[in-house]
Amino acid sequence: MSTVNLTNEDSEYMQTGDMDITYISTSSQQTELPGGAEQQTMRVYLRVRPFSKEELSDKEDQDCVGIENSQTVTLNAPKGSATMKSSEKGIGMSLHKFSFSQIFGPEIMQSELFEATVKSQMSDFVDGKNALLFSYGVTNAGKTYTIQGTPKQPGILPRVLDATFQYIGGHLYDGMDLKPYLRNDAQYLDPDQVKQEKSAKAAIFASVKEECAPLGSSGLESCSALTSNPTEADSSQFALWVAFFEIYNECVYDLLQASLGSKSKKRSSLRVCDDGAGNCYVKDLRWINIHTLGEASKVLQFGNKNRSAAATKMNQSSSRSHSIFTIKLLKIEDGTVTQISEFSLCDLAGSERCNKTKTFGERLKEAGNINNSLLILGKCLTALHNNQTEGMKNSYIPFRESKLTKLFQAVFCGKGRASMIVNINQCASTYDETLHVMKFSAVAKQVVLVIPDKPLKSLGPCLVGRDGKPLVKNGVIDTEALESFLSEEELLDEEDEANMSLAIENELANMIESLRTKLLAERKRNLVQEMEIRNEMGDAMLQQLMESEELRSRQIEKLKESFEEKLENTFEIYKDAIREHAYQSAMNNLEDDYVPVDEFIAEQDKVETLKRKVSELEGLTSSIRGLCAVPTVDQSCQTHPYKSTEAAGDDQCKHLYKEKCAIDSICEDKQQLIISLEKRLKDINVTLQNARDGYLAKSSELDDLQRKSKDQTESMEETLWQNVENDREIASLKSELAKLSQKPPVQLKPKRGLLANIRDAVTSPRKTSTSRTPRKTDRTAHP
């Protein structure tokens, strides 16, 4: 441990305009306000963690933190820190002085810290008032060590629980049938509900190993008893309920819900609700009734396990969430709850500002939310301070802007007492963050809380307005006292005041003036830089948008082409199949009745020659008949002079007649053949007609298919139009983006032109693509 030496090496920086800045100190001073209210500053303590062995071997010990006395600490920027660099440029200081309600060095024991910080809040708590304790600081500064501690070195939480059990003594209420409800109320549980409570508790205890309890009572040397234990004669009893939850990324998660077993299941977050009287509470938060310190230890262990499991599952560090352990003390008299008080211990997320390498997507959002809730906490404390110092000026207190401040709004507004333990390490490598922490807490510790004189005897919640200010003011803040408390003289050390001559004062005034101009210049530079960064970011985003857009349109084009090709192919296949089918069915019909043409012609020729023969023979027959008629008419002539010729003629006639008969029968046969052939011909004609009909039906089917494909192309067109619509939306978003990046008035004109150009460049290829679309679909519709 070291104190700061301003001579030798530091004098150089002193000469370049360095000076001490003392942040306003708070004392534990209390002022009686008219109306009985008690005004008290919120106590802010500082705890400086000892170096670890690794830090010492890494040469982290560079005398950065100097504890001057129990209330003042000096931060001295090490070489290489950003603070030192800017100080060398004449901006900012290399040496800072801060005051706290009390400062605890590395040697301080857990028990001493408890005695010196939370003991008075402890008395409030058992007395029916609310208490809130924050641990604030960067990761690895000792926040969790301060709140929870280790089995051998128990922290504040086990000590609060231990002190509460000590206070309760034999007055513990055994039943589990009176449970906290909403924020400030209690409810009766029926036997079934009590059973449920018991099984929930048993389930938690069953999954916790006995041996590694973090709140080992082994490490708890009994602390000095609280002042007012309930007397033996007192019939009142006490029930103790605890809850453990975390706020991560502005979502509240119950650490006592055993829902993390299944790997795929996402943690469900809980809602923060208003009980109608301005008090916020976590809806459906699990409360566990505890009877011993050991039980509380198991609950804490269960919650811690849940917390780290959730963090590991999401690949996050648990230091990014605020974890809150709340103890509710119910005072029970004659079977009814007559008083409820709560003690919340809040292990805040690491206050380090977001790392540049992690500022993407979810991480950026997360970092934003964590820093935001701490920022809102700071803002609330500042606003509270302003309201009280500037004559109750109604400046807006943004309690509702983060879950954390929303939940503890009532405590800040007088329904209890809040305190903060700021944890820092002394490492040179994290000096800048440590300085940031100190500056934040310098604001925090100026907050003045108004504590109502009369404790809230009834369970009725105090009415608090939307701005977080109590509606019922039972006291006006004594602005005069406050002003004198924060007056100029208070800002300066007594010694400084004595030594300060007029000349120095003038010199200081000049210095302030020059610093002011430097500050202005710096601010201007920062503004320009910010604008440049904004522009760069805007351009980069635009570029990215354009690229993704181009990729998308290319993909769509490809998709369209492949679709068209597929359609055409299917179409061809259908056409071929139909043609094949028509041909096949025609062939099938033909095959049955098929007569080769040659055969048909030969047959016809035969018929022709036969016909000719028949007509010849007919001619011959008629001539023969003419000849035969004479002897028939006059038979005597036949036997008379021409007897020999008559016999020869008769023979020939007979022969001819026979021949004629044979030819007649042949003719008849041929005639029948002709008839059958003609019939066949007719049949063939019918078959052909059928084939034609079949073909026509198929072609109408083909038409249907064509119509269908046309419909498909139309729907495709519609999709494309939708795309165009989307493109337009993107374009409008882009223009918004462009507007946003044009925000600085100086850059307005040229930037708008540039962005417009880029926008045109983005939109024009899209236009051509849309005009191309119908042409393509036309082609596919009418192949």
The binding site for ATP consists of 137-144
Q: Which of 117, 144, 341, 426 binds Mg ion (CB under 5 A)?
A: 144
Distance of CA 657 to the CA centre of its chain: 117
In whole angstroms, the minimum distance from the beta carbon of 300 to Mg ion comes to: 13
Binding mask 262-301 for Mg ion (x = CB under 5 A): ----------------------------------------
Q: Which strands make up the sheet holding 30-32, listed edge to edge?
A: 30-32, 38-41, 448-451
Amino acid residing at 379 = K
Is 747 in a helix, a strand, or coil? helix
In whole angstroms, the minimum distance from the beta carbon of 148 to ligand ADP comes to: 8
Q: Which of 143, 307, 322, 406 binds ligand ADP (CB under 6 A)?
A: 143
Q: Which of 141, 340, 542, 617 binds ligand ADP (CB under 6 A)?
A: 141
Q: In the range 302-321, which residues lie near ligand ADP by CB under 6 A?
A: 319
- Considering only the stretches 135-143, 441-449, 557-565, 583-591, report the one whose residues sit in contact with ligand ADP under the rule CB under 6 A: 135-143
Q: How far apart are the C-alpha atoms of 303 and 384, rounded to whole Å?
A: 33
Q: Identify the CA nearest to 44 among candidates 131, 86, 102.
A: 102
Q: What phi and psi values does residue 86 have, to the nearest 5 degrees?
A: -70, -30
Which two tokens mark 382? Answer: 């500042």
Cβ distance 347 to 143 under 8 Å? yes
- Considering only the stretches 44-52, 63-71, 135-143, 227-235, report the one whose residues sit in contact with Mg ion under the rule CB under 5 A: 135-143
In whole angstroms, the minimum distance from the beta carbon of 126 to ligand ADP comes to: 27
Q: In the range 317-346, which residues lie near ligand ADP by CB under 6 A?
A: 319
User: From the list Mg ion, ligand ADP, none, which binds 145 (C-beta under 5 to 8 Å, kind-based)?
Assistant: ligand ADP
Cβ distance 340 to 180 under 8 Å? yes
Written as one string, the DSSP assignment of 694-725 is HHHHHHHHHHHHHHHHHHHHHHHHHHHHHHHH
Q: How far apart are the C-alpha atoms of 134 and 121, rounded to whole Å?
A: 13
Of residues 19 and 108, the one with the C-beta less far from ligand ADP: 108
Of residues 329 and 345, the one with the C-beta less far from ligand ADP: 345
Q: Which of 142, 158, 219, 378 binds ligand ADP (CB under 6 A)?
A: 142
For the chain, give the longest Cα–Cα distance: 199
Is 159 in a helix, a strand, or coil? helix
Q: How long, in residues, is the chain?
A: 783
- Binding site residues, as ranges? 137-144
Of residues 178 and 427, the one with the C-beta less far from ligand ADP: 427
- Considering only the stretches 138-146, 353-361, 378-386, 505-513, report the one whose residues sit in contact with Mg ion under the rule CB under 5 A: 138-146
How many residues sit in the footprint of ligand ADP (CB under 6 A)?
Answer: 12
User: From the list Mg ion, ligand ADP, none, which binds 344 (C-beta under 5 to 8 Å, kind-based)?
Assistant: none
If binding is defined by CB under 5 A, does position 184 make contact with Mg ion? no
In whole angstroms, the minimum distance from the beta carbon of 143 to Mg ion comes to: 5
Of residues 60 and 347, the one with the C-beta less far from Mg ion: 347
Distance of CA 574 to the CA centre of its chain: 49
Binding mask 95-134 for Mg ion (x = CB under 5 A): ----------------------------------------
Q: List all residues 6 or more positions away from 359 whose beta carbon is below 8 Å from its beta carbon.
A: 367
User: From the list ligand ADP, Mg ion, none, which binds 780 (C-beta under 5 to 8 Å, kind-based)?
Assistant: none
Alpha helices in 279-421 (DSSP H): 293-313, 361-389, 403-407, 409-412
Cα–Cα distance list, 28 to 101, 102, 118, 446, 777 (Å): 7, 9, 13, 11, 82
User: From the list ligand ADP, Mg ion, none, which binds 140 (C-beta under 5 to 8 Å, kind-based)?
Assistant: ligand ADP
Q: What angle do CA 346, 347, 353 make, to 5 degrees?
A: 120
- Considering only the stretches 143-151, 169-177, 320-328, 431-439, report the one whose residues sit in contact with ligand ADP under the rule CB under 6 A: 143-151
Q: In the range 455-474, which residues lie near ligand ADP by CB under 6 A?
A: none
Residue 546: DSSP 8-state = H
Written as one string, the DSSP assignment of 197-239 is HHHHHHHHHHTS-STT-TT-GGG-PPPPPPS-PPPTT---EEE
Q: How far apart are the C-alpha atoms of 183 and 198, rounded to whole Å?
A: 22
Q: Which of 14, 21, 40, 50 binds ligand ADP (CB under 6 A)?
A: 50
Q: Identify the CA nearest to 105 among candidates 223, 25, 2.
A: 2
In whole angstroms, the minimum distance from the beta carbon of 107 to ligand ADP comes to: 9
Cα–Cα distance list, 129 to 90, 121, 340, 341, 751 (Å): 49, 9, 8, 5, 59
Which two tokens mark 243? Answer: 């809850």
Of residues 304 and 409, the one with the C-beta less far from ligand ADP: 304
- Considering only the stretches 30-38, 136-144, 430-438, 555-563, report the one whose residues sit in contact with ligand ADP under the rule CB under 6 A: 136-144
If binding is defined by CB under 6 A, does position 151 make contact with ligand ADP? no
Of residues 78 and 155, the one with the C-beta less far from Mg ion: 155
Of residues 144 and 341, the one with the C-beta less far from ligand ADP: 144
Q: How far apart are the C-alpha atoms of 83 and 439, rounded to whole Å?
A: 13
In whole angstroms, the minimum distance from the beta carbon of 142 to Mg ion comes to: 8
Sign of CA dihedral 139, 145, 146, 148: positive
Residue 742: DSSP 8-state = T
Q: Which residue is nearest to ligand ADP (CB)?
A: 142
Q: Which of 66, 92, 137, 158 binds ligand ADP (CB under 6 A)?
A: 137
Radius of gyration of the chain (CA): 53
- Considering only the stretches 123-131, 137-145, 426-434, 692-700, report the one whose residues sit in contact with ligand ADP under the rule CB under 6 A: 137-145
Q: Which of 140, 297, 589, 713 binds ligand ADP (CB under 6 A)?
A: 140
Q: How far apart are the C-alpha atoms of 398 and 376, rounded to whole Å?
A: 7
Beta strand 272-274 with 280-282 is antiparallel
Q: Which of 81, 144, 184, 446 binds ligand ADP (CB under 6 A)?
A: 144
- Considering only the stretches 132-140, 466-474, 602-610, 659-667, report the one whose residues sit in contact with ligand ADP under the rule CB under 6 A: 132-140
Residue 248, number of CB atoms within 10 A of its CB: 25
How many residues sit in the footprint of Mg ion (CB under 5 A)?
Answer: 2
Of residues 49 and 759, the one with the C-beta less far from ligand ADP: 49
In whole angstroms, the minimum distance from the beta carbon of 100 to ligand ADP comes to: 16
- Considering only the stretches 56-64, 140-148, 297-305, 588-596, report the one whose residues sit in contact with ligand ADP under the rule CB under 6 A: 140-148
Q: How far apart are the C-alpha atoms of 165 and 226, rounded to whole Å?
A: 11
Q: In the range 378-437, which residues lie near ligand ADP by CB under 6 A?
A: 423
In whole angstroms, the minimum distance from the beta carbon of 141 to ligand ADP comes to: 4
Q: What angle do CA 690, 696, 699 make, to 5 degrees?
A: 145
Q: What phi and psi values does residue 48 have, to the nearest 5 degrees?
A: -100, 120
Q: In the range 497-556, which residues lie near ligand ADP by CB under 6 A?
A: none
Of residues 223 and 545, the one with the C-beta less far from ligand ADP: 223
If binding is defined by CB under 6 A, does position 139 make contact with ligand ADP? yes
Q: How many CA atoms lie within 13 A of 373 on its CB side?
A: 29
- Considering only the stretches 133-141, 360-368, 621-629, 653-661, report the one whose residues sit in contact with ligand ADP under the rule CB under 6 A: 133-141
Of residues 373 and 388, the one with the C-beta less far from Mg ion: 373
Site of interaction with Mg ion (CB under 5 A): 143-144
Site of interaction with ligand ADP (CB under 6 A): 49-50, 137, 139-145, 319, 423
